[in-house]
């Protein structure tokens, strides 16, 4: 597995940058809490934290944010085989709440509704809590130096007094090295989730990457999908979502808590093939990585929420909010929802969401979740104002629009006249500075326009 001139699997002398490793003797306790999944990266971290970093005790922590049960089984079994003290912490409710904050912000980064990104700070905080309860002096993760997750974990952890260790990155490990290292030490990594793809699943989304999928031109086989049926195979169905202040609270009139609501929509919309995206994703460190996602509930909820906002927010609120929402999604992608900027963005979001209450009807068909009806007590909509069959809007008559129509585009008309006369003139500069031959007549036109408007108004 090793190339001829490389080091043996356990010889880390070449790849280790001692300056990059935090010295555990600096900390209160010689114990470290490791974000543990039972996969290859986190499994090799256990002996490495003891041997290379000098920690006496490693604690493994797996945080439940809605992964499939098999993942906890794998983590438990691997921990048992390693003799690792192991904790499983349930953070599903906290995570679901963050996902629904994302709905209020219409949050998507390059089309991806941010499942992994929203989960990482929740996981990091839960691990830190276990670490503090167990008197650990340090926190560790198994992320590589290429991805986003290292940054999302560490930005949370570096706010604490605990040391932060990233063995895979700091020791410069490759996957090949990890496999050889695990084989040599007989570490329990065989049975694991080391299939064709690298998959990250939680309540909000299932992300699939790696191997052939990394090639942007490779067409994903149907087999990469697990949450979504092939679109178009089931008969269309219709459902309603009730919102209160921007939060979804019920499906088809049945109230439920966030975890249940998201789970049910994942199943129902997933059966209709809703919520597949294939993204060329710009990672934080600048790499473009192709990622495939499934997120049926997120697609339904984001679509429904947007449709309700379209009804209740003014044109200016809607357009300004797209800017706010985009910044929220970017900060969420960066794992920086704790930034003061986000507090300010959320102030605006909360103000607008106080009216985002109502019901949206969604049709699930052909892999799409289409809003087909919306209602709200705050709808900025007047049947009589929009109708072609009534002459007045309050005390405004149809004829009042004549003056508006005359002024509308006035500046553009004037600009076009100036441009035209400048292009016709022999010396365009002279035409522009002298006002040109036509400028006088345009002034006349303005005057007579105004006179006409005044007369008509009388």
Q: Which residues bind to ligand ARG, rule: CB under 6 A?
A: 116-117, 148, 198-200, 207-209, 281, 291
324 SS3 class: helix
Residues in a beta bridge with 54: none
Give me the catalytic one of 22, 101, 149, 242.
Answer: 149
Which one, 149 or 163, has the nearer CB to ligand ARG? 149
Smallest gap from residue 126 Cβ to ligand ARG (A): 18
- Give the whole-angstrom CA distance, residue 406 versus residue 308: 34
Which residues does 65 contact at the CB level (< 8 Å), separation at least 6? 91, 92, 95, 119, 122, 123, 202, 203
Task: Between 71 and 200, name the residue whose CB sits nearer to ligand ARG.
Answer: 200
Catalytic residue, from 31, 37, 41, 200: name it.
Answer: 41
For 381, how many CA atoms within 13 A lie in the half-sphere containing its CB? 14
Shortest distance (Å) from residue 82 CB to ligand ARG: 22
- Report the nearest approach of ligand ARG to the CB of residue 206 (Å): 8
Nearer to ligand ARG, 110 or 398 (CB): 110
Given a contact cutoff of 8 angstroms between Cβ atoms, the answer to whether 204 and 295 are in contact is yes
Identify whether 257 is a catalytic site residue: no
Name the catalytic one among 31, 104, 120, 169: 120
Q: Which of 6, 15, 160, 198 is catalytic?
A: 198
The least CB distance from residue 442 to ligand ARG, in Å, is 56
The helix/strand count (H/E) of the chain reads as: 16, 16
Alpha-carbon distances of 238 from 106, 277, 368, rounded to whole Å: 22, 22, 12
148/299 with CB nearer ligand ARG: 148
> What is the Cα–Cα distance from 243 to 282, expressed in whole angstroms?
32
Q: Is 441 a catalytic residue?
A: no
CB of residue 222 to ligand ARG, shortest distance in Å: 18
Closest contact distance (angstroms) between CB of 112 and ligand ARG is 7
What is the strand order of the sheet 198-201 is part of?
A: 198-201, 206-209, 288-294, 276-282
Closest distance of CB 291 from ligand ARG, Å: 5
Q: Say if CB 52 and CB 23 are below 8 A apart.
A: no
Q: Smaller CB distance to ligand ARG: residue 52 or 291?
A: 291
Q: How far is the CB of 209 from ligand ARG (least distance, A)?
A: 4
Q: Which is nearer to ligand ARG, 74 or 291 (CB)?
A: 291
d(CA 410, CA 453): 13
Of the two residues 109 and 243, which places its CB atom closer to ligand ARG in the complex?
109
Q: What is the secondary structure of 274-289 as a DSSP string?
A: --EEEEEEE-TTS-EE
Residues contacting residue 248 through CB under 8 Å, at least 6 positions apart: 100, 103, 241, 242, 261, 301, 304, 305
Any bridge partners for residue 207, and if so which?
200, 293
Residue 232 Cβ vs ligand ARG, minimum distance, rounded to whole Å: 26
Cα–Cα distance, 405 to 153 (Å, whole number): 57
Annotated catalytic, 198?
A: yes
Instruction: State whether residue 291 is helix, strand or coil.
Output: strand
Do the beta carbons of residue 274 and residue 398 sit within 8 Å? no
The reply to whether 41 belongs to the active site is yes
Which tokens belong to 192? 């694991």
Map 377-403 to HEC letters. Answer: CCCCCCHHHHCCCCCEECCEEHHHHHH
Question: Closer CB to ligand ARG, residue 225 or residue 378?
Answer: 225
Q: Which residue, 78 or 205, has its beta carbon nearer to ligand ARG?
A: 205
Phi, psi angle pair for 279, to nearest 5°: -120, 135
Q: What is the chain's length? A: 458
Just list the catalytic residues. 41, 120, 149, 198
């Amino acid at each position: 597995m090793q190339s001829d001139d490389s080091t043996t699997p356990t010889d880390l002398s070449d790849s280790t940058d001692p300056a990059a490793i935090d010295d555990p003797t600096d900390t209160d306790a010689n114990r470290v809490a490791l974000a543990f999944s039972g996969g290859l990266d986190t499994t090799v971290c256990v002996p490495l934290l003891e041997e290379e970093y000098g920690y006496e005790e490693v604690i493994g922590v797996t945080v439940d944010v809605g992964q499939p049960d098999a993942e906890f089984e794998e983590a438990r079994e691997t921990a048992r085989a390693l003799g690792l003290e192991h904790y499983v912490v349930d953070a599903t409710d906290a995570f679901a709440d963050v996902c629904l904050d994302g709905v209020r912000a219409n949050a998507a980064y390059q089309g991806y509704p941010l499942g992994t990104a929203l989960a990482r700070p929740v996981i990091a905080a839960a691990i830190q809590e276990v670490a503090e309860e167990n008197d650990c002096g340090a926190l560790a993760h198994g992320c590589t130096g290429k991805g986003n997750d290292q940054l999302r974990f560490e930005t949370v952890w570096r706010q604490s007094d605990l040391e932060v260790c990233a063995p895979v990155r700091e020791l410069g490990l490759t996957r090949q090295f990890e496999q050889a290292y695990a084989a040599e030490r007989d570490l329990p990594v065989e049975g694991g989730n080391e299939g064709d793809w690298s998959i990250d699943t939680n309540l909000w989304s299932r992300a699939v990457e790696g191997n052939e999928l990394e090639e942007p031109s490779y067409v994903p086989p149907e087999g990469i999908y697990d949450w979504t049926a092939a679109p178009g195979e089931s008969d269309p169905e219709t459902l309603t979502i009730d919102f209160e202040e921007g939060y979804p609270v019920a499906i088809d009139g049945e109230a439920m808590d966030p975890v249940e609501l998201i789970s049910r929509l994942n199943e129902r919309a997933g059966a209709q093939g809703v919520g597949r995206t294939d993204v060329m994703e710009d990672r934080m460190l600048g790499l473009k990585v192709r990622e495939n996602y499934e997120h049926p509930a997120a697609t339904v909820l984001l679509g429904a929420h947007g449709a309700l906002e379209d009804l209740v927010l003014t044109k200016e609120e809607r357009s300004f909010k797209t800017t706010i929402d985009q910044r929220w999604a970017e900060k969420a992608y960066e794992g920086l929802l704790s930034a003061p900027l986000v507090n300010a963005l959320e102030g605006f979001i909360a103000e607008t969401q106080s009216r985002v209450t109502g019901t949206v009807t969604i049709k699930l068909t052909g892999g799409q979740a289409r809003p087909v009806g919306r209602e709200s007590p705050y709808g900025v909509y007047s049947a009589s104002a929009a109708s072609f069959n009534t002459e007045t809007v309050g005390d405004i008559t149809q004829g009042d629009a004549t003056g508006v129509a005359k002024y509308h585009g006035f500046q553009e008309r004037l600009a076009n006249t100036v441009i035209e006369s400048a292009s016709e003139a022999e010396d365009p500069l002279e035409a522009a500075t002298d006002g040109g031959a036509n400028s006088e007549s345009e002034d006349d036109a303005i005057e007579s326009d105004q006179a006409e408007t005044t007369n008509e108004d009388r």
